[in-house]
Amino acid sequence: MDWGMKNRLSKLIKADGHCFFMPIDHGYFQGPTSCLEKPAETIKPIIQYCDGLFVTRGVLRAVIPPELNVPIILRVSGGTSMVGKDLANEVITTSIDEIIRLNASAVGVSVFVGSEHEQQTLLNLANLVNQCESYGIPVMAVTAVGKELEKRDARYLALACRICAELGAKVVKTYWCEHFDKVVCGCPVPVVIAGGPKCDTERQVFEFVYDGMQKGAIGINLGRNVWQSANPVAMAKALQAIIHENANVKKAQDIFRDAK
Ligand code: 5RP
């Protein structure tokens, strides 16, 4: 691996090999998501606990101060919306020149395995890897399911993650599921746990994150379960402890309770 690629990855994945990414890219297909109407205000109290910010170029340029000392993972796929025909019909939205100009530490692209647009989104990933490898920029693949949340089982996610790794993703972000070790074991590159819709309780979040980490994930990319919480700072602190301090569920709950 070349120096630039290693250097960028080391900014995102800390010395313990773990990472806590904060996604605020939801608006790219669903508009002004609840609690993310003003993204800069949403992240202000929590970003200090995170190792990377997953964001589109539009929000980055419009509201994120360039002085903010957090590595950027640029969301570079899109072109669809919640009210459109098919969320899977994504293209690459951001040129390699833009990616470099914005000093991205990595880029993120969704793939929709098993969808009508499977080939198109897999080629989005492969072509992006071709371009980004030339400049030492890591590509994070996102195994997306659109509205078909029921697809998220170990068999499907293992298949999708492995394909992303085969096409050159440096990191794969995927949903937690039962038997998550099967997903991680079949994937030769690091796996980061995605969030999904807000859980009913904090404990549920700590449980799936802890389980995923025990089963080999290197970290999380968790948005709504943090910034849609009534206590986002307490959530961020507790999750950071699971990721970087090996806290268990009970310890995370204690940290949450003390911080809220
Ligand atoms: C959407 C994404 C988002 O980054 C991610 O899903 C958002 O995080 P969360 O689900 O935890 O709110 O990749 O496809």
Active site residue 151: no
Q: Please, what's the b/e burial string for 189-218 (b: 16 or more CB within 10 A of its CB; e: otherwise)?
A: bbbbbbbbebbeebeebbbbbbbbbebebb
pLDDT at 95 > cutoff 90: yes
- List, in sequence order, every residue forming a beta bridge with 53; answer none if it has no partner: 22, 72
In the prediction, which pLDDT does 150 show?
A: 79
pTM of the model: 0.96
Question: Is residue 52 within 6 Å of ligand 1 at its C-beta?
Answer: no
DSSP 179-218: THHHHHHT-SS-EEEE--SPPSSHHHHHHHHHHHHHTT--
% residues pLDDT > 90 (the chain):
94
In the prediction, which pLDDT does 149 show?
A: 76
Q: Decide if domain 3-259 falls under CATH 3.20.20.70.
A: yes
3-state DSSP call for residue 171?
strand
Question: Is residue 175 within 6 Å of ligand 1 at its C-beta?
Answer: no
Residue nearest to atom 11 of ligand 1 (CA): 195
Model confidence pLDDT, tens digit, residues 148-189: 777 889 999 999 999 999 999 999 999 999 999 999 999 999
Domain ranges of the chain: 3-259
pLDDT at 147 > cutoff 80: no
Question: Is residue 186 within 6 Å of ligand 1 at its C-beta?
Answer: no
Q: Which of 151, 170, 173, 237 is catalytic?
A: 173
In the prediction, which pLDDT does 1 show?
A: 81
Please give the backbone phi and psi of residue 173, each rounded to the nearest 5 degrees, phi first.
-105, 125
Task: Report the chain's terminal Cα–Cα distance, integer Å.
Answer: 42
Give 39's contacts (C-beta < 8 A, 6+ positions apart).
Answer: 24, 27, 55, 59, 63, 64
| Contact indicator for 80, 88 with CB cutoff of 8 Å | yes
Cα(88) to ligand 1 centroid in Å equals 14
Cα(108) to ligand 1 centroid in Å equals 11
pLDDT at 146 > cutoff 90: no
Q: What is the rounded average pLDDT of the residues 24-44?
A: 96
Question: Is residue 224 within 6 Å of ligand 1 at its C-beta?
Answer: yes
Between 81 and 150, name the one with better pLDDT.
81
In the prediction, which pLDDT does 21 show?
A: 98
- In angstroms, the CA 174 to CA 169 distance is 12
